[in-house]
Amino acid sequence: MLQTLKVLVQEAYSMEDWQVEGPNWITAELYDVAATMPPHTSRETARLMLRTMLAERVGLQVHVAQRDIPVYALVPAKKGFKLHQVTDKPTAYSEMYEDKFIATGTLEDLATYSRRYSDRPVLDMTGIAGVYHIELHWTPDREAPMRRDSGRRWSLMRV
């Protein structure tokens, strides 16, 4: 399967798109990586093998730096907390539709999932524990940033 170097680095180092920077060609040139691994190789071991391959075959050198970046934060609404807690043996599940997402999970799960549809990291800063029924509605546009709608739900909107 053909992949860009950026995608390979993201997988090798378990990073998200916004965490990997480099020259323009890391998103333009495609690489075909074929590897054979022993049965039952863990994902972390496979990532270590990919790191080694990138260093040896491509000459990849990694530089880690810390910097301030904008983020979105899930915070409790001023009018109170309105999600419904799941109390009887919660089982994690999710359903995706064109304009909504329905799930059972923690608010950390929600923040993690929301990162896929956001232009920046999403952090759970609610301080609220537990498993909840979560229903999100949005405009079906993956490029739109997130916003809070009436303090009750998260939605997407173009700004």
Residue 143's pLDDT is 55
Same domain, 35 and 89: no
- The total number of structural domains in the chain stands at 2
How many C-beta atoms surround the C-beta of residue 7 within 10 A?
17
Same domain, 135 and 85: yes
pLDDT above 90 for 40: yes
CB hemisphere CA count around 40 (13 angstroms): 0
pTM of the full structure: 0.59
Q: How far apart are CA 118 and CA 110, in angstroms?
A: 12
Q: Is residue 31 part of a domain?
A: yes
Same domain, 53 and 81: no
Q: Is residue 63 part of a domain?
A: no
Q: Which domain holds residue 122?
A: 72-156
Residue ranges in 1-159 assigned as alpha helix (H) = 5-13, 43-53, 107-114
3-state DSSP assignment of residue 40: coil
Q: How far apart are CA 103 and CA 124, in angstroms?
A: 16
Per-residue pLDDT tens digits for 19-33? 898 999 999 999 999
Across the range 36-55, mean pLDDT stands at: 95
Same domain, 30 and 103: no
